[in-house]
Amino acid sequence: MYQHLECIALRTVKVSDSKSLLSAWTRQLGRVSFSIPAGAGREARRRRALCSPLATFFGECDVKPGREIHSLRDVRAGAMSLAVAASPAKSIIAIFLSEVLDLLLRRSEPDEALSDFLFSSIEAFAAITDNSCTASFHIIFLYHLTHYAGIGPNAGTYTPGYVFDLREGLFRTTTPLHPDFIAGEECSHFASLASARYDTPLHIPGPIRRRLLDFLLAYYSLHLMSFSSLKSLEILRDMA
């Protein structure tokens, strides 16, 4: 029996002249792999467009126990997902975040709260029209994603002059005896991410924005996994 799925495209790898393997997050099943056409035909091109990085889409899937790779039919684009692919700046951010999620959600089961966060965030991303909001989206997204990954910082204890201990995940009055911490103006901006909204500009200088990204990636690396293999990171840094 075919099951209706609501999906987020993460990563596509060509495995033959006619087939590609699409990794996706689904609201109903969690992480799933799909076999999709990879040729030059009209249907293959249409599916590739619908399944670009971070695109949301719907499809029907014949889910069978024990099967690792599934097939899709009746694939349809999600609301506003094509708005991301149409923007060069948003496309770069989408490629980067899809890489992050592809690594982070490698063995995940269905998670209603996480799915709500991911789908609502992508919808908000597609709706952004302010370039300043676009430039900060991935930083706000990565910060809030920490809570769904089980490593959310203890933001309620911040006071001006405090430093953030990346290893302990909390703000403290004194500098720790290791190099993994955020201090000064950068710490103040990091604390502001707790209340940041996607549709409100952060007004953070480019160099500090790039440093906040580095801090967030270091935070994930300390608590979950290394993101050193991200291929799109340097392109994203050049854009910031």
Specify the pTM.
0.93
Confidence bin at 195 (pLDDT 50/70/90): very high
Q: Does the pLDDT of residue 83 top 90, yes or no? A: no
Task: Give 92's pLDDT tier (boundaries 50, 70, 90).
Answer: very high
Q: What residue type is assigned to position 177 of the chain?
A: L
Write down the pLDDT at residue 43: 67
pLDDT in tens, 118-129: 999 999 999 999
Task: Give the confidence band of 108 by pLDDT, cuts at 50, 70, 90.
Answer: confident
Indicate if the pLDDT at residue 78 is higher than 90: no
